[in-house]
Structure 1
């Protein structure tokens, strides 16, 4: 994932990458579930009035509806004060794996 670029105020995502945006209160539980599915992908924390965690994943084209309080970001993510929870490495799960982890902790 060397092509991820976190500059001063935004994260630039490659064309086939999506950021799955969840409330930070879910973040630890979701990342814990993901460790059972394989290596974690990059996770970014967005501090603010309501801190959010972004799980970076490979986009898949299967139809789905995101759960409440979940948002998908493509291309650019406003991230002026973001920091890495898990730095980018070689792992990048499919977005469907992250959705499954979210459904496990927030049925």
Structure 2
């Protein structure tokens, strides 16, 4: 069983204990996914509508806590257990295969943000 699921009755995305999701604005989500794909497994991505469309990258947690990472202002990290509001969400990349480590997602975000 996956460490997450979409609960349509509550209009939310549910992360289980130990699961990690990284939320970015959709306006640069495609670039982050391209950068991540070139580095290894892409993993599932969920599009969440709202005042601003957001992409949620699912990842596996880092094996050991590293140095504290301060994300860019538009990025949010979600650690399970947690419910994330996600009414009418859709899969950009459906779940299948391995998850990237959250460190790889962070690296892809830094690479994309460097060019903005």
TM-score (norm 1): 0.92
Which structure 2 residues correspond to residues 1-107 of structure 1 after superposition, within 5 A?
2-8=2-8, 9-60=11-62, 61-62=65-66, 63-74=68-79, 75-107=82-114
Q: Deviations over 1:47-102 (max 9, x none)?
A: 12110000011122222111221001222211111111011112111111001000
Distance 1:76 1:11 in 2: 6
Distance 1:78 1:49 in 2: 12
Q: Unaligned 5+ residue runs, structure 2?
A: none
TM-score (norm 2): 0.85
Residues 72 and 3 of structure 1, relative CA distance in 2, 3 Å threshold: closer
* CA RMSD, Structure 1 to Structure 2 (Å): 1.3
Distance 1:16 1:56 in 2: 12
Query: Offset of 1:14 from its aligned partner?
Result: 2.1
Q: Unaligned 5+ residue runs, structure 1?
A: none
Larger Cα-atom Rg: 2
Query: Offset of 1:4 from its aligned partner?
Result: 2.4
